[in-house]
Structure 1
Amino acid sequence: MFITTGGVVLKSYPFKDGSYIVKVFTSKSGLLSFFVKKTKKKSIVYQPLTILEITYRKKENSSLFYIKDSHMLYAYQNLLFNSEKIQIAIILSEVLQKCLGDRNTALYQFIVDSFKWLDLAKEDYSEFSNLFLIKFCEIAGLKPYGALDFKEHPNQQLDLQQGLFISSNLHSSELQKPKYIVPVKESLEIFKLSQLDFKNLKTRTISKRLNDSIFDYLLKYISIHLTDLQSIKSIKILKEMF
């Protein structure tokens, strides 16, 4: 049986004889691995971040599939020519290929729309990665809860293990594992980001240090509740390269 579906290429691995193993998150079947021979016609298929439509043959009890036909659904205008955007997109692709699995049409559409937004963004996208991870957690059912009005309760902290905002007035002895408690400043910024859409990022200005700190805490949060991301060395390497 042949299936035609939209997909986002997350990663490709050189195999042998000029061929590749390509991981694609598809709208109809979730995360799949494809065997792709490197030809001019199929060159777009093994390029990470490509948004495309593919037709493949589904076989029962198979974890590797062959692509019958493919074509690009969206041509990036700026992302592939902007080193900062490439860094952001590749790091997020590394995260996604570890986190994604079964079909989730809401997540698929979110990923496609997010990469398109990043492609066209002219400025104010320095916090894109953090907002992307926050929205990803919301759609995946991992949204932290319990936050009160920060104007009235400014000393709240995010408990990464419980996925819960708690009062920072609690004595350390009352906290089972203080190492999972996010500092007040980062907790506030995570909450603020959770109230925004990508188009609202232009209203924010924070330091690179704080931005990086929030990113690290979000990776830790996802590692606790979904899959281990902190052991992915490529994320650290990519952040240091750019």
Structure 2
Amino acid sequence: MLHKTKGIVISFVKYKETSIIVKIYTEIFGIQTYIENGVRSSKGKNKIALFQPLTLLDLVVYHDSKKEIHRISEIKCLYPYNTITVDIKKSSLGIFVNEVLNNSLKEHAENTPLFNFLEDSLKYLDQHEEQIENFHLYFLINYCFYLGFGPENEDDVVNQLQEHAIPVSSDEKKLLKDLIQQNFGSTLFINKHLRMRLLDLILTYYKIHVEGFGNLRSMGVLKEVLE
């Protein structure tokens, strides 16, 4: 049966000579896997751009709940990025967000609030310039609410970290409070060292709650490009 849905590309791998198998987070089916033929041929070379990670898509898909791999009937770009693909800070943040999603999106079910949050977050990153260096911190704190372990306050995070023998300073605790209470784009007075330390703490909090949430390769890139 055919269904119309929006989607966010998570990853793809090459399959046979000209095809790919792509993982997409869809608005109405959650995380799903699709096979797309011919996109790596000379005729389909322009289409492969639609399957780059974090691309926002409008889709018409075949879906059979008994199958693990589905097919795409129609596809087009929902929102062309203007800055994420050309700005080194934003592209590095995009790589980080994509890796977080790859490690945490597991449900094969509709979750429209989560999809809307991810779509809005990516558009925000593309459209705004102020406080972008803290985007990933706000993203992580907001995202965990949709995954079911959002903290009521900073003490929820601190107590769980301390239970795992992770110390948290008073400055770090205050910054956690600010992140939980503020919205994207709010001014966060933080230096590079504290920003990376705070990121380490939040990712450890994720590891406590998300099974199989491993170390992120993109961390090294963020340390280089974020001031």
The answer to whether TM tops 0.5 is yes
Partner of residue 142, structure 2 = 135
Report what 2:101 is aligned to: 96
Q: Deviations over 1:1-52 (max 9, x none)?
A: 1111001112222223132221111110001111123124632331111101
Q: Verify: 1:69 aligned to 2:74, yes or no.
A: yes
SS at match of 2:144: helix
Shift of 1:229: 2.5
Q: Percent identity?
A: 27
Q: Does the residue aligned with 2:51 lie in a helix, a strand or coil?
A: coil
Using the TM superposition, give the Cα deviation of residue 73 of structure 1 relative to its aligned residue in structure 2, in angstroms.
0.9
Amino acid at match of 1:224: I
Per-residue deviation, 1:147: 4.8
Is the partner of 1:212 in helix, strand or coil? helix
Written as runs of structure 1 = structure 2, the 5 A alignment for 1:19-38 is 19-37=19-37, 38=39
Where relative contact order (Cα < 8 A, 6+ residues apart) is larger, the structure is 2
- Residues paired across the two proteins, number: 218
SS at structure 2 position matched to 1:179: coil
- Name the Cα RMSD after superposition: 2.2
| Distance 1:238-1:3 versus aligned 2 partners, 3 A rule | farther
8 Å Cα contact 2:92/2:218 also seen in 1: no
Within 1, Cα distance between the matches of 2:191 and 2:32? 38
Residue 184 of structure 2 is aligned to residue 198 of structure 1: yes
Q: Deviations over 1:158-185 (max 9, x none)?
A: 1235xxxxxxxxxxxxx7x451343322
> Which residue pairs with 1:46 in the alignment?
51
| Corresponding residue SS for 2:199 | helix
The 2-side partners of 1:88 and 1:101 are apart by 21
Partner of 1:221: 205
Whole-angstrom CA distance in 2 between matches of 1:93 and 1:80: 13
Give the TM-score normalised by the residue count of structure 2. Answer: 0.87
Aligned match of 2:174 in 183, 188, 191? Answer: 188
Change (3 A) 1:220 1:68: same
Q: Specify whether residues 157 and 45 from structure 1 end up closer, same or farther in structure 2 by C-alpha distance, changes over 3 A only.
A: closer
Q: CA deviation at 1:81?
A: 0.7
Change (3 A) 1:15 1:160: farther
2:54 and 2:98 in contact (8 A); partners too? yes
Distance 1:142 1:178 in 2: 16
Distance, in Å, in 1 between the alignment partners of 2:33 and 2:164 is 40
Deviations along 1:43-95, whole A, 9 cap, x unmatched? 23311111011111112321111111101111111111111101101111111
Residue identity in the other structure for 1:18: T
Distance in 1 of aligned mates of 2:182 and 2:153: 18
Kept in 2, the 8 Å contact 1:20–1:46? The answer is no
Counterpart check, 1:57 vs 2:62: yes
Q: Deviations over 1:83-113 (max 9, x none)?
A: 1101101111111122112221111100100
CA distance in structure 1 between the partners assigned to 2:157 and 2:10 by the alignment: 33
Q: Does the 8 A contact of 2:157 with 2:205 survive in 1?
A: no
Structure 1 counterpart of 2:97, one-letter code:
L
Inter-partner Cα distance in structure 2 for 1:77 and 1:52: 15
- Structure 2 Cα separation of the partners of residues 146 and 47 of structure 1: 36
Give the greater-gyration-radius structure (CA): 1
Structure 2 unaligned segments of length 5 or more: list them.
none
